[in-house]
Amino acid sequence: MNLPTPLILILLGLVFVVAEMVSTFLVARRLQNFGIVDIIWSAGFTPLVFLYLLATAWQDRLLPAGGSDLQGALISRLPLTFMVTLWSLRLGLHLLIRVRAHHPVEDVRYAQLRKEWGAQTDRKMLGFFLLQGALQVVLSAPWLISSLRPPTERSGWVGGCFWLGLLLWAVGILGESLADRQLARFRADPARRGQVCQEGFWRYSRHPNYFCEWLVWLGYGVFALASPWGWIGLLAPALMYHFLVNVTGVPMTEALSVKSKGEAYRRYQQTTNAFFPGPPRRG
């Protein structure tokens, strides 16, 4: 029997996400709230990274001179496992609180898809969920690569990638948490209902939460560079940047904000960068 390889790990990941997303679809249909997929998509990265951790640890145990350095190899994988777990569960909990606060009212994105898909909603939504699961596997490339050949040194190129990746991840986690808190505090003030949040990080970027989320993924990509073939891990932050800036992040949020806040948000667009933070401009 062959030892676990990148292909086998990918297949294991696909089996997991299929089971994950089919189960999520069945629960979401019963609750009549497809928005819960956002929670599962975020929190689901935790079992995925542990799957890679356990599979590669089992591989090490089966190597010749079985497991002579198993403890060292396992410990070298723990920093990235901790990074992914903390980020994944924090974001999943944040989304759980948001979805639960609005339930049974469904997120406007999924409500719109229901209208567009009509009688085919269940079939198309299941396909959408499975696509989200496949995306989880693609985006987990930095963790898969780092799990296969974890860096065991903390100096030179390897050490630089390790510490820079950790720094980017930490700044992203902290920044996203603060941006979420600032926005929640602003929205909780009844006197500011209908206004545009321009406090804290929101003064320098219209989407500081998305920017900090991308920093987290950039940290994962840089972290993976410490391992052989680590450049493949840069696919994750590149894809995440595309999705956040061009697909489901900024464009959809901007359209909803203009619709709900009108001219006030248009002025905000004229004075504030969309993604990368920068000093406010004169309108």
Residue 13 pLDDT level (bands cut at 50, 70, 90)? very high
Q: What pLDDT was estimated at residue 107?
A: 84
Proportion of the chain above pLDDT 90, given as a percent: 55
Mean pLDDT of 221-240: 89
pLDDT at position 4 is: 47
Q: Which of 64-78, 106-120, 199-213, 267-281 has the lowest mean pLDDT?
A: 64-78
For 83-142, what is each residue's pLDDT tens digit?
999 999 999 998 999 899 888 888 888 888 888 898 899 999 999 999 999 999 999 999
Is pLDDT at 201 greater than 90 in this prediction? yes
**Residue 22: burial class (beta carbons within 10 Å; 0-12, 13-18, 19+):** middle
Task: Supply the pTM of this predicted model.
Answer: 0.87
Residue 77 has pLDDT above 70, yes or no: yes
Statement: residue 66 has pLDDT above 60:
no
Of residues 222 and 5, more confidence is placed in 222
What is the reported pLDDT for 151? 59
Average pLDDT over every residue of 141-159 = 72
CA–CA distance, 112 with 40 (Å, rounded to integer): 20
pLDDT recorded at residue 104: 86
Residue 81 CA to residue 83 CA, distance in Å, equals 5
Predicted pLDDT of residue 54: 83
Average pLDDT, the chain: 87
Does residue 283 carry a pLDDT above 70? no
Nearest-angstrom CA–CA distance, 253 and 10: 32
- The residue with tokens 């994750």 is 236
**Ramachandran class of 105: left when φ > 0, alpha when ψ lies in -120 to 50, beta otherwise:** beta
Domains of the chain: which residue ranges? 1-150, 152-283
Task: Give the separation between CA 281 and CA 271, rounded to whole angstroms.
Answer: 4
The arithmetic mean of pLDDT across residues 226-245, rounded, is 90
Give dist(CA 131, CA 116) in Å, integer: 18
